[in-house]
Amino acid sequence: MKDKIQKHLRRKKRTRARVFGTKSRPRVSVYRSSKHLYVQIIDDVKGETLVSVSDLELKKKTDGKKVQKKSQSKDPEVSGVSKTDLARTVGELLAKKAEKKKIKKIVFDRGGYKYHGRVKAVAEGARKGGLVF
């Protein structure tokens, strides 16, 4: 188990060595847990988060409206929406919030994860929303 964590941290460190966010082109950082997804737009020069979005925000907004729940479970797979679809929507929401802050161009930091699945869906949603990588 330790080996798996160390490999992930090594990949993350290698990615962060190349990716740096500035005011004109901030960094989009993705954190993917087993249940949720968190995305931030960060200015590394100042060390501050400009925009943050998570799938928890979407769940609060869509509770009982668009998503028809099959059960009381909070697991997105059970509620009828896949994690990948939620990730795509998170990317679109990120692009909307970034547009309000007048952010158009970004640098994508996949956080040591493969550019596949939920991470790729966030990037596609952000591109669809108007962000330029």
Q: Which residue has the higher pLDDT, 33 or 65?
A: 33
20, burial (CB in 10 Å: exposed 0-12, middle 13-18, buried 19+): middle
User: pLDDT digits over 71-100, tens only?
Assistant: 445 555 446 789 999 999 999 999 999 999
Strands of the 37-43 sheet, one edge to the other = 48-54, 37-43, 27-32, 107-109
pLDDT for the residue numbered 74? 58
CATH of the domain at 8: 3.30.420.100
Residue 51 contacts residue 101 (beta carbons within 8 Å): yes
pLDDT for the residue numbered 76? 55
Give the C-alpha separation, 68 to 80, whole Å.
7
**Count of structural domains within the chain:** 1
Range of the domain at 122: 2-129
Q: What percentage of the chain carries pLDDT values higher than 70?
A: 86
Q: Which residue has the tokens 């992930």?
A: 8
**Looking at residues 47-61, what average pLDDT do you find?**
90
**Looking at residues 12-19, what average pLDDT do you find?**
91
